[in-house]
Amino acid sequence: MPEPKLNQTPGDKSRYDQRFAGVLGEHYDLRARVMPYHEQFQDTVKDTLADFAKKHPEASILKVLEVGCGTGQTSIRILEADPRIKVVSVDTDEKLMEKAKKVLADMADRIEFIHQDILSVLTAMPDQSMDAMASGLTIHNFTTEYRLEVMKEVARVLKSGGLFVNADKYAFDDPEAHAKSLKEQIDSFEMFDTMHIPGLDIPKLKKGWVEHYQEDEKTKITESEQIKMLEDLGFKDIKVIFRESMEAVITATKK
């Protein structure tokens, strides 16, 4: 997929962390195995895009920007949603992106991978050039300031009527409910103990995920904060279409 020609030059690395370097990235897919609703959560992205595509029978191509491919668990669902979908997928982690490329080799002609930080790529994209933005478990990793800049750019590059779909960690507005869901998630990492994978240092993996979740607390975004941000950026039909523990899927349409 040759156009648009996007920014491939390194962005300012101090603006984003390599949060999946080391054991978390090496064994990233094990995270899904301790999240009982993971498939349903990710499938919500696919179903949302499939509905969106059905509403656009006139389009020969639907351009979707994916924020953070990781190992391709969301990317595959985006591609499966409709054969007209072409994806530009952006990730800062080259090792995870290489795994995604292998998983998606059969659909390589429909996905362009860019090893770059999303803000650098977005700022080089023309206004109203994408039909949809889709993402899974990525945007919560951003700092509050970087996230807002990304969201402003997403609002700029989406076409009028364009879709935002984000399956992510969204804190409950009620602090008590949030604290309960955080405890549930941290407790769920005990399930790693039941896995017997040669060479895997289970205590290190558990510690890594617990620390990751504790760090997320510093930049967490609540459901209401995301809704307000989307309203302020000119989105309508904002909906929370899935919620289990800390994870939710939020959709919106660019006015």
Ligand X SMILES: C[S@@+](CC[C@H](N)C(=O)[O-])C[C@H]1O[C@@H](n2cnc3c(N)ncnc32)[C@H](O)[C@@H]1O
Binding site for ligand X (CB under 6 A): 16, 20, 68, 70-71, 73-74, 90-93, 96, 117-118, 136-138, 141
Residue 5: CB partners within 8 Å, gap ≥ 6? none
Sign of torsion over alpha carbons 32, 33, 34, 35: positive
Nearer to ligand X, 117 or 131 (CB): 117
Burial of residue 158 (number of CB atoms within 10 Å: 0-12, 13-18, 19+): buried
Give the nearest distance from C-beta 70 to ligand X in angstroms: 2
Strand spans (E) along 41-129: 62-67, 85-91, 111-115
What tokens appear for 28 in the block? 């990233």
* Residue closest to ligand X, measured at CB: 70
Nearer to ligand X, 96 or 165 (CB): 96
Nearer to ligand X, 31 or 254 (CB): 31
Give the nearest distance from C-beta 99 to ligand X in angstroms: 9
Nearer to ligand X, 14 or 160 (CB): 14
Give the nearest distance from C-beta 255 to ligand X in angstroms: 26
Task: Phi first, then psi: give them for residue 241, nearest 5 degrees.
Answer: -100, -5
Partnered with residue 175 across adjacent β-strands are none
Give the nearest distance from C-beta 37 to ligand X in angstroms: 13
Nearer to ligand X, 96 or 132 (CB): 96
Give the nearest distance from C-beta 205 to ligand X in angstroms: 14
Partnered with residue 65 across adjacent β-strands are 88, 133
